[in-house]
Amino acid sequence: MASIGLLVLLAGAAHAASVSDILTELGHTKTSAWLAKNGHYQAAIFNTSLGPISFCSPSNKAWEALMPSANNDTFIGETYMPLHIVRTRLDASKVAIAPARSIYRSGLLPPATFGLNLGAGLPSPLVFQVNSSGSLLALQTAFGGNITITPSNQTSDDGVSIFSADMWFDVPGDILLASQNANGADASDFGSVLQAASPSGDLLVDIQSSKALTVLMPNNDALAPTKRMLGSQPPALLTMLIKNHIINGTAVYSTQIEDNLEAVTAAGSAVTFHKAANGDLSVAIGTTAAVKIVKSDILGENLVVHTIAGVLKSTTSDDGKAKDANKAYLDFDDSGKIPAYGEIDSKTPIALSVASTKVTVIAASSATGGVSSLSASIALVLVALACAVM
C-alpha cells in the first residue's frame, strides 16, 4: 500500500506543470517565449520565498499593444513582469465587490529602471475588485482603464497560480500623472496650483523625491475657486495650502482607513479620517467639516492619491510637528513591521496609529505654538474661497 501511495505521489509530481507549460496551454505564447529567452529574470519574478504567489500573465493581445518605449527586456524583466505578480494566492471569491476593493502587494520593488519609493522593502500595491457581472478586475488609473483578469485554475509545480490579463498593468507614475488622467484623480488643475506655488519647480521635485506620501488631492471642481485666484496669491501661501493636503512619510490606502484615524500633514496640521457605516470615506482638517473622498487608491511611484471633493481649509502650520510626524512615519515604514506580502487591509500595521503616540497633533483652528506668520493671509484667502464657492 505504501508503494502504491508513493507511486501516486510520483505520478502527480510528474504531471505538475511549469509556469511556461501552463502559459503555452493558455495560448500566452509571447509571455512564455519571453521567459524562455530571459531565464535569468525568472528566479526574481517568481520568488515564492514569502509564500504562494499569483501571476497575471499579459495575453498575446496585450503584447501586441505594448508601447515601443516599454518593449525592452530590461524594463520588462525589472518592472513590468514583477508588477504582474500578486504576492498572495489570488482568489476571486475573496476579492471585494465593487465599489469596494481589495489591495495586495505586487512583486515590484525598486530596480535600476524604476524609482519606486514606498518604504524599505515595500513593493507597489495592486488594486482589484469584482464588478456587478462577477468579473475580476485590476483597477488602473492611467492609460488603459480597468483590466479583466481571468483565472486559469492552474497552479505551477513551484506554487505560482496563473491568471490571464487582457492588458498590461499601468506602471505607477509621478504625482502629475496621477492628477492628469481622466481615469485617475480627475484633478488636472492640481498641477497649476503646484506651478503657482513653486514657479521654479522645487516643490514638485521635493514631492517627487519624497518617500511614501499620501496626497489628499482636491478635484477640479473643488480647485476652481483657488485656480481663479492663483495670480494674486503669494507662492508661500499656496505651498502651505498644498502641504496641508499631503501626509509626508507613509502611504495610507483606503482599505486601511478606520473611523477617526488621525494623521499630521506636511504643514503640521491635524487631519482625521472618517469612515461611515456604508463604507464612505471623508477627511477633516482640525475641527472643520469633513470633506468626502470621492476617488481612492490612485497609485504613484512614491505615493497614493485620494481625490477629495473640497479644499482642506487650515489657517495654521507647524514645521516642528510636521518634521516629528515625518520622522515617526518613516521610521515605522522602514522598520520591517509592514508586511511586504499579502493583502493590505485594516489589519495591516499602519504608521499613523503607531506614530500618533509619539506626535502631539495640532488642531488647525486652535494651535498657537509654532504657527506660521502666513496664518492671517491664509484666513483671508479661505474667506475669499468660501465667497467664490457661494
Tens place of pLDDT for every residue, the chain, 390 residues?
A: 445 444 434 444 445 699 999 999 999 999 999 999 999 999 999 999 999 999 999 999 999 999 887 889 999 999 999 999 999 999 999 999 999 999 999 999 988 777 888 988 999 999 999 999 999 999 987 655 799 999 999 999 999 999 999 999 999 888 988 887 656 667 888 988 898 899 999 999 999 999 999 999 999 999 888 888 777 788 888 899 999 999 999 999 999 999 999 999 999 999 999 999 999 999 999 889 999 999 999 999 999 999 999 999 886 789 999 999 999 999 999 999 999 999 999 999 999 876 554 544 433 333 333 333 344 344 434 434 443 333
CATH, range 19-165 = 2.30.180.10
Contact between residue 237 and residue 378 where contact means Cβ atoms under 8 Å apart: yes
The structure's pTM equals 0.87
Per-residue model confidence (pLDDT) at position 11: 42
Residues 238 and 241: their CA atoms lie apart, in Å, by: 5
Burial class (CB in 10 A: 0-12, 13-18, 19+), 205: exposed
Of the candidates 286, 216, 262, the one whose C-alpha atom is nearest the C-alpha of residue 356 is 262
- The CB density around residue 38, as the number of other CB atoms within 10 Å, is 15
Residues 316 and 351: their CA atoms lie apart, in Å, by: 23
* Lookup: cell for 33: 517565449
Contact between residue 141 and residue 170 where contact means Cβ atoms under 8 Å apart: yes
Domain with CATH 2.30.180.10 in the chain: 19-165, 175-353
Q: 235-243 and 190-197 are packed helices; what angle lies between their axes, rounded to 10 degrees?
A: 130
Q: Alpha carbon of 11 to those of 5, 6, 8, 25, 220: distances in Å?
A: 10, 9, 5, 20, 61
- The CB density around residue 96, as the number of other CB atoms within 10 Å, is 16
Helix (H, G, I), strand (E, B) or coil at 291: strand
Q: Are strands 85-86 and 246-248 parallel, antiparallel or unpaired?
A: unpaired
Fold of the domain spanning 175-353: FAS1 domain (2.30.180)
| Helix locations, the chain, DSSP H | 2-15, 19-26, 29-37, 42-45, 60-64, 73-75, 81-83, 175-180, 190-197, 202-209, 220-228, 235-243, 319-333, 351-355, 375-389
Contact between residue 138 and residue 183 where contact means Cβ atoms under 8 Å apart: no
CA 262 to chain centre: 19
Contact between residue 171 and residue 76 where contact means Cβ atoms under 8 Å apart: no
Per-residue model confidence (pLDDT) at position 315: 62
